[in-house]
């Protein structure tokens, strides 16, 4: 009997009423990342971006005081970048210095241009 967990894909789709360039910037520009990273009510006090294949960014989401106010850090280690189309990265839960503290998860972000009403 194998103890290896089964791999499963999770596909989440969201359509934004924004140009592809703006959606791309939201993932690569630290000022933009700090505006959206984390659930509603959380803030992002840290977004140190090294956005390039082989680079690693460090981001932090801070919980609201009513949820304990703790800081939670992640790194995004970029494996493949296709400008204005695809960001493939590994997300790690880390400490404030970027040292891994939990299991890794692979993630891939695809940004599509909308053409003729079809994604």
The pLDDT of residue 24 is above 80: yes
**Is residue 56 situated within a structural domain?**
yes
**Is residue 24 situated within a structural domain?**
yes
Q: How confident is the model at residue 104 (pLDDT cuts 50, 70, 90)?
A: low
pTM, two decimal places = 0.78
**Is residue 5 situated within a structural domain?**
no
**Is residue 90 situated within a structural domain?**
yes
Question: What is residue 69's predicted lDDT score, i.e. its pLDDT?
Answer: 96
* pLDDT tens profile 68-88: 999 999 999 999 999 998 888
Tell me the two tokens of residue 6: 């089964």
The pLDDT of residue 60 is above 50: yes
Residue range(s) defining the domain that contains residue 42: 20-110
Residues 6+ away with beta carbon under 8 Å from 86: 80, 108, 109, 110, 111
**Is residue 66 situated within a structural domain?**
yes
CATH code of the domain containing 46:
3.30.530.20
**Is residue 117 situated within a structural domain?**
no
Question: What is residue 13's predicted lDDT score, i.e. its pLDDT?
Answer: 74
Percent over 90 (pLDDT), the chain: 56
**Is residue 37 situated within a structural domain?**
yes
Question: The sheet that has 56-62: what strands, in order across it?
Answer: 43-48, 56-62, 71-82, 86-94, 100-110
Question: What is residue 109's predicted lDDT score, i.e. its pLDDT?
Answer: 66
**Is residue 14 situated within a structural domain?**
no
Domain total of the chain: 1
DSSP 8-state class, residue 4? S
Average pLDDT over residues 51-58: 97
Q: Which residue has the higher pLDDT, 119 or 4?
A: 4
The pLDDT of residue 115 is above 70: no
Percent over 70 (pLDDT), the chain: 81
């Amino acid at each position: 009997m194998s103890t290896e967990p089964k791999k499963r894909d999770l596909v989440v789709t969201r359509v934004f009423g924004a140009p592809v360039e703006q959606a791309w910037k939201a993932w690569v520009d630290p000022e933009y990342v700090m505006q959206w990273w984390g659930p509603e009510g959380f803030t992002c006090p840290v977004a140190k971006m090294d956005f390039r294949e082989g680079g690693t960014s460090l981001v932090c989401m801070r919980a609201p005081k009513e949820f304990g106010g703790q800081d939670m850090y992640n790194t995004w280690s970029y494996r493949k970048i296709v400008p204005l189309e695809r960001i493939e990265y590994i997300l790690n839960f880390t400490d404030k210095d970027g040292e891994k503290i939990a299991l890794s998860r692979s993630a891939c972000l695809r940004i599509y241009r909308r053409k003729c009403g079809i994604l």
